[in-house]
Amino acid sequence: MSIHESGEMYLESILVLREKQGNVRSIDIVNHTGYSKPSISRAVNLLKKSGHITVDASGAISLTPSGEVIAKKIYERHRVLTSFLCSIGVCEQTASADACKIEHVISDETLECIKKTMGN
């Protein structure tokens, strides 16, 4: 099943939050992204329906295997692109913001060439 850019971003946010704090709840995603509670609630429901996350009775959100694959792919893209942009002189804050936009549309081929150029 295809996932939209916003879904990829939410999955990446769940992964990042899980690495920082362990358990992830909807309110954590609200605080991390700055999006409204209704927007996050809708996204969580869509990601549950698509089988990319599960939510237990206490509200803890977990990535399913398919969600984990997508989240890790997007997060790797974000890290590589941020590093690359910093290496060509872009400040870290701008590089991270730009990487967040580019990571969803860049081709696998281009990303692999960037990684090769950087020695990854």
How far is 73 from 54, CA to CA, in rounded Å? 19
pLDDT of residue 13: 95
CATH of domain 5-69: 1.10.10.10
User: Which DSSP state fits 96?
Assistant: H
How far is 27 from 40, CA to CA, in rounded Å? 8
In the chain, CATH 1.10.60.10 covers 72-118
Q: What angle do CA 12, 74, 32 make, to 5 degrees?
A: 25
pLDDT of residue 120: 65
10 Å Cβ neighbour count for 120? 13
How far is 71 from 6, CA to CA, in rounded Å? 12
Contact criterion met (CB below 8 Å) for 11 and 74: yes
In the chain, CATH 1.10.10.10 covers 5-69
User: 11, exposed or middle or buried, with CB in 10 Å at 0-12, 13-18, 19+?
Assistant: buried
Architecture of the domain delimited by 72-118: Orthogonal Bundle (1.10)
pLDDT of residue 2: 59
- Going residue by residue through the chain, which has 120 residues, state the pLDDT in tens, using 9 for 90 and above: 457 888 899 999 999 999 999 999 999 999 998 999 999 999 999 999 999 999 999 999 999 999 999 999 999 999 999 999 999 999 999 999 999 899 989 999 999 999 999 986
